[in-house]
Structure 1
Amino acid sequence: MSFEKIATDTVVWLLRQWMRLPVPFLLSLGRGLGRIIYWLPNKRKHVAKVNIGLCFPEMQAEDSKQLLKANMIATGQGLIEQMMSLWCHHDRFVQHVSFSGLEHIQTDENGRAPILLTCHTTSIQFGVRCLNTRLNKPGHMLMRQDNNKVLEAHLTAARERYAEKVIDKKDMRTLLRSLAQGNPVYYAPDQNFSYNFEYIPFFGVDAATTVALAKLAHVKNIAVVPWFCFRTGTNTWHVEVLPRAEFFGAADYRQVLLDMHALFEQHIKKYPEQYLWVHRRFKTHPQGKNYLYK
C-alpha cells in the first residue's frame, strides 16, 4: 500500500467525520478559511486578483480589493459546500435552498433529456446535489478526472450516490447515452481549454473556450437548459432554472459561444464574488501559456 493511498484515505476519513458537525458551524469555518486565504500570499489569490482586474478594468482599486476579499470568503465557504455535497445527507441543508423554473427540465418527444448548462460558481457542486433532489431521474455529471487516482475514487463514489453516474469530460458517447435514457447531464464549459477551442471574449478578454457543446447541440439537436446556483444569504441558496437556450443548435458556433458567455456574464454580475475567479480562465493565450498570470 502506497503512502499516497494511506494519506489520501486518512484525509478523506477525517473530512467525512468533520461533515458530522452542525452545518452553520461548518459554513462559518469555510468563511474563516476564506479569510485566511485572503490574508496569506498564495497562487489562487494571485489568479483571482488578475482575473478580477482583467474582467472589471473599470473598477476602482478599493472596490477591486473588496471584491477579491469577498471572493476568497465565498471560495472558502464553497469548499465546505462541496464537501457537504459529497458526504452530508441532503436533509441537513436542502430545506435552506429555494428553487425556480424546474418545469423547464423536460424530456423531448423521444424521451431524451436536456443538457443542464451552468458556469463555475463557488456553489456549483452543492447546486448539483440540491437540484438532483428535485428531478425525476438524477442528472449525471460531466467531470474532469483528478490527477490523484485514490482521491478520484473517493470523489466518484460519493458523487455517484446522488448523481448516479460521473462521465469523463471527453466521453461524448456516454453523455449521449445518458441523455437518451432520460438522465440530464450537467455541463459547465467555462474553464480553460487547450484543445478543440476558439478564443471567445469573456468579460471582454479572449478566453480559450471549448466548441464541443455548440457542435453537439447543433448536430444532435439536443436541448440545452441553463441553470445557476447562488448563495442568497449566509446559510441560504437559490437554484434558478431558465427556459431552453434557443441559441444553441445554430450552425454558427462562434455566435453560440458569444451568446453563452453573455448569459454567464449576466448572471455572474448579480453575485460577482461567487464566481470561481481562482481558476486560470485565461491560461491558454496567444502569447504563451500563463502569459497573463506571470
Structure 2
Amino acid sequence: MKLLFFISFCMLASWSLHALSFKKPINRLVAPVYVSDIVKTNEINKLDGVLWPASMQGWVSSDDVKAIIGKHSKKIDLTRWQGVKKAWVEWCYPLDISESNKKLNMEVERLLAEKKLKLLNGLRINNSDIPCSKSPTKNTEWISAQLLNHKIIRAKLSTDAQETYVFDLPFEASVQAYMLKSSGNKGSDLSSLNMYLTNVRWTGKEVTDLFDIRNKHLMRNVTAGEVIKISDLAETLAVNAGDKIKVRLMHNSIAIETSGKAITSGRIGETIKVKISNSNKAIDASVIEKGAVNVSV
C-alpha cells in the first residue's frame, strides 16, 4: 500500500511539473510580450525568447496557448492544463518622452517665470507614471502645461498615434518673498516695518509683492527672520467710525476741502457715512486715503 501511494505521488509530481496555466494577473503588459509573460509552467525556461503574436490579444484560451507553444517547443507536455481555461491578454507600447521632456521643462520654466517663480531640480517624471500607447509610436509632444497648485503641474502629451495623455507632475519652485528684519507686533502697519526680499521655497502662502501689503497690518506677532504669509495680514481701515477726517467736496472739476466726522468705518475705495462740520446730516462719501474722503455734490 505504501509503495502504491509513493508511485501515485511521483506520478502526480511528474504531471504537475509539466502542467500549464495562465499567470495571474495578466492584464495589460508592456510590449514586446513573450509567452513566458502569459503562461506559468515549471519548465518556463524552455519558452525563453518565444514571442507572443501581436495579433492574439483580448480573450485567449488554453488551446490558443498550446497552439503557440506547439510551434516552438515539443519538449513540454501540452496535455496538462491547470486553472482557468481563458484569460484576457492585452498589451501596450512604452512611450519615449526623453526628447520632448526638454521642451516641457522649458515651457514650465516660462510658465513659472510669469509668476516670478523659479523651477528647482527640474520636473520629476517616474518611469512608473509613464503610460503605454495602444499602438507603436515614435514621436511625442507636450501640448500644454497648467499650474494646479504649489506642488503639481498638469501637462498634456500627444503622440503621432493621435493619442493624448494627462500627467500630474510633482515639482518644487523658489520665489522671492518678504521677510522681517526685526520683529513685528500684532496690529502693526506693514508700511512701518523693516522688510527685505529673500529666496524661499514656494508654497503659495508667501507675500511676494508690495501690492499684497499695501494698507495691511499684522494679524499676529511675527518674529525677525520670519517670512510674512498672506494669512498673517488683514486690510487696515483707512477711516474709523468717530475719526475726524478731511472731506473733499467735488462738483464737476471744482473741489472744496473741509472737515468732518466719520459715522462708519471703511477701507480705501469703500463708501462710508460721514457728517460735514456744522451739519447734522449723514451723507455718503468715498474713502480715498487714510483719514480722507470724497463727496460728490
- Quick check: TM above 0.5? no
Which structure has more helix as a fraction of its residues?
A: 1
Pair member with larger Rg = 2
TM-score (norm 2): 0.19
TM-score (norm 1): 0.19
Greater RCO structure (CA 8 Å; 6+ sep) = 1
Which structure has more strand as a fraction of its residues?
A: 2
